[in-house]
């Protein structure tokens, strides 16, 4: 017991007197049981949204992107807003599993699996938007530097859009192997419990024959650590590069050096909000309240509060620097954001992202599940508005006042966005029924240090 | 290859650790240990060599870095230099700031994927590979020490019974 000591001040991360076997049973339950009615209802809604999204995508591709609400002045709007929004959401997963692993935060273990799943699914949604925006997605391979036979041109490595191609595809694939490597022991656990032959076959296939030898575990831990070390700068680089899409341009309101840290903080902020949204529901539906405890939710709320404050500082810095720079175009861009025709979007962003997370300073509020859920939705809306404000308000006032215009989305714009939300939930709901949603092998390693039953024993023995 | 094995099964990681320590002290040859989760410190007691995967990762990273630099140099400087916003298209070193993001991403890409592939190959993990844990419970809550038996079965059993054992299995002809 002495080797599993943890300071008594640390709250338990696993409650309900668990044993190793009980953890396996709890994690396998959603997979081995049947889906309930609520699951089917939510799944059907998500599937319908997804189908509607596909219809809108087919219409866009067959007719051309003129079916969107874009015009000559506002040439980028919902597509890139949605792209950045989804990529941002995709940042929490790798942050939780990589950065928190490097900092040896044990609370990551209850949530990392689902957060990584969320990352992968939301990066898929993000990737759809540039693909559709190409207009001819079957020529998407033109963004790859291949010696081409159509002319003598290569892709342009000076362009932030090409950097994005490399960043997002590296991020997606590295997150995927990180996720899958962590899944192997858990798939193996499901495989060894499976009674139905078909289930056994599938989980044997996906667990890659994991056997749990001492040597395998030694390598597994080394690989996890090195991947975490690689994924940490990677996750920071990805949103930095996404911010370069704007920051390297000369549009007032985009041309700012604060963008990289500001976007990264915003991404973590929105990602954690989405993790909270998903996990607050999932812990209830899958009976995982003993593993995703109130302590986990509170810690995520603290991260939301801190990153929300960083984002708030970035907003204020932007305003200050716009004034301080003495550049009147820059000053106008920001004045126009707050008081121009899109003032409502700006203040929706400010309210959702800067003011509402400050409520998390109150312990009563940040330990309230209902309140956490509401704030997580509010933050997601706010972060969508942030991207909309940055993109559309900077574009809709051109250098030529005769080109000044407004943007309003067409129903196709809205349809594709709703479609990606549907697609995301289709993937996540299927995941929640077929994958071990808790990293059970990792959770078992902290049972003796952070389980409530072991903590009680230590309290009683006085050490 | 021995064709008879003793499987000492434990139901707790601390009991396993004590048992492995004891057996090592008694000079028992332990072929393998199967556990449901990484038991920290087990590799030290078993005297496993440290893994060299991190070293390979470093080498793969160097390969990725070199590949990125050489590829961009060929494409942007050698094969078809273009005047893009007046940037110095004739010199890699003067134009390198714009190439850092892609070179960095390629370094990470090569390191991560090649290291994971190496891990899968070294630990013999791939789709359709058959699992080799002797009993299915070792992925749940049991810890198993596999010891080959020649003609010391009685002696072995006596030693193992001194540890906090859950169950002993004798398995024959495991590896054909």
Q: What digits encode the pLDDT tens for the residues A343-359?
A: 999 999 999 999 999 99
The verdict on B55 touching A (C-beta cutoff 8 Å) is no
The verdict on B75 touching A (C-beta cutoff 8 Å) is yes
Residue B176's pLDDT is what? 46
- CA distance, residue A30 to nearest chain B CA (Å): 17
pLDDT greater than 60 at residue A446: yes
CA distances from A202 to A206, A346, A431, A434, B128 (A): 6, 49, 14, 10, 10
Q: Do B119 and A181 touch (CB under 8 A)?
A: yes
The verdict on B78 touching A (C-beta cutoff 8 Å) is no
Q: Do B76 and A181 touch (CB under 8 A)?
A: no
Average pLDDT (A231-254) is 92
**Is residue B99 classed as helix, strand or coil in its secondary structure?**
helix
Mean confidence (pLDDT) of chain A:
91
Residue A152's pLDDT is what? 67
pLDDT greater than 90 at residue B162: no
Structural domains of chain A, count? 1
Instruction: Give the chain A residue nearest B117 (alpha carbons).
Output: A177
Residue A149's pLDDT is what? 65
Report B:145-174 residues touching A (Cβ under 8 A): none
Chain B neighbors of A192, CB-CB under 8 A: 131, 133, 136-140
Q: Do B108 and A191 touch (CB under 8 A)?
A: no
Average pLDDT (A4-33) is 89
Q: What is the CATH number of the domain that holds A387?
A: 1.20.1630.10
Q: Do B53 and A219 touch (CB under 8 A)?
A: yes
| Comparison of pLDDT for A377 and B90, the residue scoring more | A377
Chain B neighbors of A101, CB-CB under 8 A: none
Q: Do B129 and A208 touch (CB under 8 A)?
A: yes
Q: Do B133 and A192 touch (CB under 8 A)?
A: yes
Comparing CA positions, the residue from A269, A213, A230 lying closest to residue A97 is A230
Residue A88's pLDDT is what? 92
- CA distance, residue A398 to nearest chain B CA (Å): 21
- CA distance, residue A42 to nearest chain B CA (Å): 32
Using pLDDT thresholds of 50, 70 and 90, give the confidence band for residue B2.
low
Average pLDDT (B95-120) is 95
Q: Do A208 and B126 touch (CB under 8 A)?
A: yes
CB pairs under 8 A between A and B: 205
| Cβ atoms A170, B103 nearer than 8 A | no
Q: Do A177 and B133 touch (CB under 8 A)?
A: no
Q: Do A157 and B72 touch (CB under 8 A)?
A: yes
Range of the domain at A63: 2-146+155-456
The verdict on B46 touching A (C-beta cutoff 8 Å) is yes
| Cβ atoms A409, A391 nearer than 8 A | no
User: Which of A155, A162, A211 shows the shortest C-beta gap to B132?
Assistant: A211
How does pLDDT run across A164-176, given as a tens digit for each residue?
Answer: 999 999 999 999 9
Q: Does residue A13 lie within any of the structural domains?
A: yes
Residue of B18, B31, B38, B98 to mutate, interface with A, max A Cβ within 10 Å? B38
Q: Do B141 and A21 touch (CB under 8 A)?
A: yes
Residue of B118, B125, B145, B166 to mutate, interface with A, max A Cβ within 10 Å? B125
């Amino acid at each position: 017991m002495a080797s599993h000591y943890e300071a008594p001040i640390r709250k338990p991360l696993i409650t309900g007197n668990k044993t190793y076997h009980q953890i396996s049973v709890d994690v396998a339950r959603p997979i081995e049981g049947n889906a309930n009615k609520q699951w089917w209802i939510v799944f059907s809604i998500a599937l319908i949204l997804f189908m509607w999204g596909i219809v809108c995508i087919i219409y866009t591709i067959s007719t051309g992107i003129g079916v969107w609400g874009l015009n000559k002045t506002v040439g980028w709007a919902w597509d890139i807003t949605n792209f950045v929004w989804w990529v941002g959401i995709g940042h929490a997963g790798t942050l939780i599993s990589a950065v928190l692993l490097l900092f040896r935060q044990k609370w990551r273990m209850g949530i990392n699996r689902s957060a990584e799943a969320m990352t992968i699914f939301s990066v898929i949604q993000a990737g759809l938007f540039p693909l559709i925006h190409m207009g001819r997605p079957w020529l998407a391979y033109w963004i790859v530097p291949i010696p081409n036979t159509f002319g003598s041109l290569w892709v342009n490595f000076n362009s932030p859009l090409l950097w994005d191609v490399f960043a997002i595809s590296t991020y997606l694939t590295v997150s995927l192997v990180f996720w899958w490597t962590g899944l192997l022991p858990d798939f193996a656990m499901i495989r060894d419990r499976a009674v139905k032959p078909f289930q056994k076959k599938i989980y044997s296939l996906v667990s890659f024959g994991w056997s749990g030898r001492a040597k395998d575990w030694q390598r597994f831990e080394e690989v996890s650590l090195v991947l975490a070390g690689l994924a940490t700068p990677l996750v920071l680089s990805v949103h930095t590069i996404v911010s370069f899409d704007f920051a390297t341009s000369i549009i007032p309101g985009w041309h700012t050096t604060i963008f990289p840290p500001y976007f990264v903080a915003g991404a973590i902020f929105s990602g954690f909000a989405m993790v909270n949204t998903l996990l607050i529901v999932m812990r209830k539906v899958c009976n995982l309240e003993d593993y995703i405890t109130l302590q986990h939710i509170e810690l995520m709320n603290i991260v939301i509060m801190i990153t929300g404050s960083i984002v708030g500082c970035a907003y204020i810095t932007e305003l200050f620097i716009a004034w301080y720079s003495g550049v009147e175009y820059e000053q106008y861009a920001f004045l126009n954001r707050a008081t121009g025709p899109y003032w409502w979007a700006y203040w929706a962003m400010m309210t959702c992202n800067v003011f509402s997370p400050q409520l998390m300073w109150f312990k009563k509020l940040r330990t309230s599940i209902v309140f956490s859920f509401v704030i997580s939705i509010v933050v997601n809306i706010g972060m969508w508005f942030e991207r909309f404000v940055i993109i559309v308000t900077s574009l809709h006032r051109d250098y030529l006042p005769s080109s000044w215009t407004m943007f309003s989305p067409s129903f196709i714009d809205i349809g594709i966005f709703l479609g990606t939300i549907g697609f995301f939930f289709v993937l996540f709901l299927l995941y929640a029924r077929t994958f071990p949603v808790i990293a059970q092998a990792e959770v078992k390693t902290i049972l003796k240090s952070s389980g409530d039953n072991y903590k009680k024993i230590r309290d009683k023995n006085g050490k | 290859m021995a064709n008879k094995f003793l499987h000492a099964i434990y139901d707790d990681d601390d009991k396993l650790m004590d048992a492995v320590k004891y057996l090592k002290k008694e000079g028992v040859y332990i072929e393998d240990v199967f556990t449901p989760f990484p038991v920290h410190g087990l590799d030290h007691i078993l005297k496993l060599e440290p893994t060299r995967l991190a070293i390979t990762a470093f080498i793969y990273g160097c390969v990725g870095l070199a590949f990125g630099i050489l590829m961009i140099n060929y494409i942007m400087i050698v094969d078809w230099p273009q005047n893009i916003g007046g940037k110095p298209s004739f010199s890699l070193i003067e134009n390198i700031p714009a190439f850092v993001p892609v070179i960095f991403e390629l370094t990470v890409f090569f390191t991560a994927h090649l290291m994971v592939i190496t891990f899968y190959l070294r630990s013999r993990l791939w789709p359709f590979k058959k699992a080799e844990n002797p009993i299915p419970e070792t992925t749940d809550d049991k810890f198993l020490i596999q010891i080959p038996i020649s003609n010391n079965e009685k002696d072995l059993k006596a030693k193992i019974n001194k540890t906090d054992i859950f169950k002993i299995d004798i398995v024959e002809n495991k590896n054909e």
